[in-house]
Chains A and B, each alone.
Chain A
Amino acid sequence: MSEPILRVEDLRTQFFTSRGVVRAVDGVSFHVDAGETVAVVGESGCGKTITALSILRLVPEPGRIVSGKILFKGRDIVEMDSEEVRDYRGNDVAMIFQDPMTSMNPVTKVGAQIKEAMTAHDRFSPAEAAKRVVPLLKRVRVPAAERRVSDYPHQFSGGMRQRAMIAMGLANEPSLLIADEPTTALDVTVQAQVIQLLKQLNRELGTAIVLITHNTALVASMCSRVIVMYAGRIVEEGPVDQIFARPEHPYTWSLLRSVPRVDEARKGRLVSIRGLPPDLVRMPPGCKFHPRCLFKVDKCSKEEPELEEVAPGQQARCWVMMSTVSEETREAAQTSEVAFDVAAEIKKRMRSDARA
């Protein structure tokens, strides 16, 4: 395998709010090889979007990259001066966002916004850029591209707009495309089309894709490797089929169990993970998942485990590891009434919200 195009080493990004320091990304390391499709999975608030933004050095106020390296083809993004980073953004690494409705400038034509992505860098002359816009739209399967190019975003449907965003991202043929929950705001049929499109572009252009999502089903259909994040750190990483078959970290295991599997008969009950993601300001001691872990042992709440190799290419951060847990305890965990009181708790909370 050649040198990975992206290597993140012990990245820490923190937000200095009046409530305290929010450790959004708390020591994350991973790599992405050329042409590879990697998924970053985790509940909202686990730091996956902030990691992506840190890669592009677009961390919003009051956040800052506190420490760690982000090496893109050997160059450290964190040390780059602002002009160098600007040229790198959208050229070497591009990013598309979750809500196509608000991610495009409502008062400028779609074609212009795509052309702009190219003219911002000197890879294509303005004339070449203008010529490439319609083919780009065609490549992302936007019908009647010649006419639609002079339309405004509000004249595109949600799916259509996301395709335009993808075209914008790929305009400069970047080596890496980060897609931050590209399908969340879309309905299911359109979701499948977008994922299909991304897979096809990865094959044809060889662009490495980092897909950020909380929808594990998408991961299976598209990515070769998956990284599971929780509370600002990686808790498990490895090839997709290995992780799906034998998840070692209880969190990964619960995640996979809370997704209805079409292929499996409705055997077990769906597992919902007890409680809510931790408050990133006042982190619990030890393993950050221990308050919600059904298989925790005494050590878990004292000391945080390191990532350790559990299988070829697969790492996990846990003192127990699912492989050591017997079949019966797994069954018991799945049916425990614990799930019920959590649901009741959440409902109560929602009502108080409405009343306030």
Chain B
Amino acid sequence: MASPAMIAEQVDWENPEQIGLWTDAWTRFRRNRLAVASLVIVVVMIVLAIIAPLLQRVGIIPDPTAQDVVNSYASPGSPGHLLGTDDLGRDVLSKILFGAQVSLSIGIFVQFIVLGIGGGIGLVAGYYGGWVDNALMRFTDIMYAFPDLLFVLIIVAALGPTYLNILFAIGFVAWVGLARLVRGSVLSIKEKEYVEAAHAAGSSPSKIILKHLLPNSLGPVIVTLTFGIPAAIFTEAVLDFLGVGIRPPQPTWGVMVFDGYAAVDSYPYLVIVPCVALSLTMLAFNFIGDGLRDALDPRMRR
């Protein structure tokens, strides 16, 4: 909508630019340098994860499962291994890149499940109240106390440790926190005049929920989802610890941290490298989350 570069004289002073909601949100997001930088980092990571097999074929990075037991625990910077090797002499850098395929995807997709189930239940319970709220919240109470350790153990043991089963198992036990959070924020704004006005104007409950209630609880939801990413990645590592995670030797970040733990005294880099990768991802999603909340906040619109 913004007119091209303006030349002072021919400027059409009569009608200054007017832009729509989404373009405004995008322009505001674009102006938040931190959010943009973070978006770039995430995209780079995803790209690296995708082209990792290519990099391996071209020979830039070795096969993550290739063992070179003679020089195991080689320190970072040693020849051929930028980030060193692990207890079986496998290259840490390629383990990080290939590990990203599992860890990043699990970290992100689980959040969609959490948003779907948790957000859904929270919104519906908060908006309708009454026995609906009671039923959904008692179900959430049960899920809170649920021995998710046992549940995940059996689900994945029974159905097999495939990627989808693990994703579902983690997602299924991860949404309770978000549900209660969303319900809490909906309860307080449900009474707001503009919500009642919209209700009075006959707009359907789903429209109200999505247009009014969800945007307002955006802040806490985004924070919870960004914290959910490392949590999901570590839950996958716990699954592996229980024997029902992604089958080794496929590397994942969470498992690299767990395995590195045993050697933290003599070879700390084995823990530091995956933790840095995780921190970077978490930091990036944090700022993207902030940028998103500010960009979508109706009050901030020009």
Contact = CB atoms under 8 A, between A and B. Distances in A.
Check whether chain A touches chain B (CB < 8 angstroms).
yes
A282 B20 contact: no
Interface in A1-54: 18
Interface stretch (A87-95, A164-172, A347-355): A347-355
Contact of B20 (A274, A278, A292, A352): A352
Contact of B11 (A275, A282, A345): A282
A353 B13 contact: no
Contacts of A279: 16-17
Interface string A85-129: 000000000000000010000000000000000000000000000
Contacts of A274: 14
Nearest to A277: B16
Contact of B13 (A101, A291, A352): A291
A355 B14 contact: no
B18 A101 contact: no
Contacts of B19: 356
B119 to A, nearest CB: 24
A282 B18 contact: no
A355 B11 contact: no
B159 interface: no
B20 A18 contact: no
Given A276-B15, A276-B16, A284-B13, A353 B21 contact: yes
B31 interface: yes
Contact of B15 (A345, A352, A353): A345
A353 B18 CA distance: 8
A117 B136 CA distance: 43
Contacts of B23: 356
A154 interface: yes
A284 B11 CA distance: 9
A349 B18 CA distance: 8
B158 interface: no
B131 interface: no
Given A291-B14, A356-B21, 18 more contacts: A154-B191, A274-B14, A275-B13, A275-B14, A276-B18, A278-B13, A278-B16, A282-B16, A284-B11, A284-B13, A292-B14, A345-B15, A349-B15, A349-B18, A353-B20, A356-B1, A356-B19, A356-B20
Question: 3 smallest A-B Cβ distances: which pairs?
Answer: A356-B20, A291-B13, A279-B16
